[in-house]
Amino acid sequence: MERPFRARLLAGDLLVGTIVTLAAPEVAELLASAGFDWLFIDAEHAPLGFRDAQALLQAAGSGCPCLVRVPAGEEVWLKKALDLGAAGVIVPQVHSAEQAERVVRLCKYPPQGTRGVGVARAHGYGNRFGEYMALANDQVAVVLQAESAAAVRNIRSIVEVPGVDAILIGPYDLSASLGKTGKLADPEVTGAIATVTEACLAAGMRLGAFGIDAPAVRPFIERGYTLIAAGIDTLLLSTAAGDLLSGIVQPAP
């Protein structure tokens, strides 16, 4: 039997996924069938509602776990994402240990936390209610994004919060927070990423990163990152289409 996603994450398995932003179930179905270990459903920046997110989870099927990036670390978003049956959540803009503690509480059922109890897709619409309630606290993954100067300053206390399973670097927001928007090779940005990396490795915290392609994520894997989001559905489509067209239509001499 396939181990739950959170168990694989905590064990340090290399988990390669990609970001889904298009509200088309066929996209999630195709990406899941391509062999990705997981899908990153982006309900923060993409125009995805929670009905869209549920359709994407359904299309991905039980063989490809999905993490939903919520718009913010608030109760309503976390509760909805998990009740959809997501394998976990990715929470943006976590700047302190206090925020991290609150997110974990909201993702765990009592007595470990304060997650509200409903009957939804995660619970088999009621048919697997008891089973899900018994397993959810151990199987739901909580991934926090470190993407601000404040998060970098507080990273050592954030990684000590029980129930945080991984830290995902948000390189673009981090660069903006440092006044170096998009300048990912700037020494201040690379230094901040190094600070987060070192703190996580020292604490045994799993690390995640995003890159637009294989060359972009390979250096992170070499540094010990195991939760990898490579590419975005829109870029994968447009790049493949561009490559196809350029292979057919040769530039004029």
Residue 166 sits at φ, ψ, to 5 deg, of -165, 155
Residues 114 and 105: beta-carbon distance below 8 Å: yes
* 45 among known catalytic residues: yes
DSSP 27-73: HHHHHHHTT-SEEEEETTTSS--HHHHHHHHHHH-TTS-EEEEPSSS
Q: Indicate which residue of 7, 11, 45, 61 is catalytic.
A: 45
Enter the DSSP assignment of 110: T
Residues 233 and 21: beta-carbon distance below 8 Å: yes
Q: Which residues have a catalytic role annotated?
A: 45
